Amino acid sequence: MDLATGVANGQGRHPIFSFGVIADVQYADIPDGHSFLGVRRYYRHSILVLQRAVKSWNDCKNLNFVINFGDIVDGKCPKDQSLDAVKKVVGEYPIMAVVMPTRTMTFHQPQVIDLLYWMDMIFSAIGWPIDHPNTLEAMKVLNEKNPNSNKNSPEGLEGVDRRFVMFNGAVGKEQMEWLNSVLQDATNMEQKVIVCCHLPLDPGATSKTTLLWNYDQVMDVIHRYDCVKVCLSGHNHEGGYSIDSHGVHHRVLDAALECPPGTDAFGYIDVYDNMLSLVGTDRLENTDFSFDS
């Protein structure tokens, strides 16, 4: 669906606000390749998907900001090219972008941030120096949970234990305390909340190999409150959707990286008082999230 002409399912109402979404661009100036599981990846095409997304978002003229759900440069990008690749991707965004999960925000209506909370994956075996405490702690978890010499392999792991691979990670103690605090504040102010996280938080919405390591602990915090209505994420490149046992909607966004040439995966979300409407393009399907007022 063309974002400039797409009609959301808001029963003709004007949304409270709207924002663009895209996930897992993972650009690299290298030939096409494959994931660990053999899925085709289109490294140079992914930035063309982003460029078309930005054009569509600009054509909309009514978006308040844009969220990139993380993994903006692929791990296979040569290290001597990585900084230039990051600059190239970030340089494509309009000024109102929110780049996940680094908490970069420059949009013009800061009051809407009260309705959106996002979490950094700060407890991980990648992305930190090899001797960093976060790396050492993450490797301790992996060594306890994953017996394989290749910690990116889930071989032999069953069910949700397949999440204990190196390309995933966890939310740390400080972030858990922060999440609990902001959800308490949101409850006190009678706000509705959208939680955004790079890694998925519900097994029903994603492959077990792409779950946040401590998804269960995070969801225990979220389920203490009634304010969270929707959790949005990326990371699982084929996307997904579920409603959990507490009625929280989980939507995993399809990856720009795995769009064959000429196809796309991006969209925008219209926010209403009692629903959200994701208007997607091509591989990113439309999804409505209805909830009690």
pLDDT, position 121: 53
Q: Tens digit of pLDDT per residue, the chain (293 long)?
A: 333 333 444 555 789 999 999 999 999 999 999 987 789 999 999 999 999 999 999 998 889 888 899 888 898 899 899 889 988 988 887 665 565 543 333 333 333 333 444 555 567 888 778 888 888 889 999 999 999 999 999 999 999 999 999 999 998 888 899 899 999 999 999 999 999 989 999 999 999 999 999 999 999 999 999 999 999 999 999 999 999 999 999 999 999 999 999 999 999 999 999 999 999 999 999 999 999 86
**In the structure encoding, which two tokens stand for residue 200, read together?**
């998925």
pLDDT, position 267: 97
User: Is the whole model's pTM more than 0.95, yes or no?
Assistant: no
Domains for the chain: give ranges and CATH numbers: 17-122+171-290 (3.60.21.10)
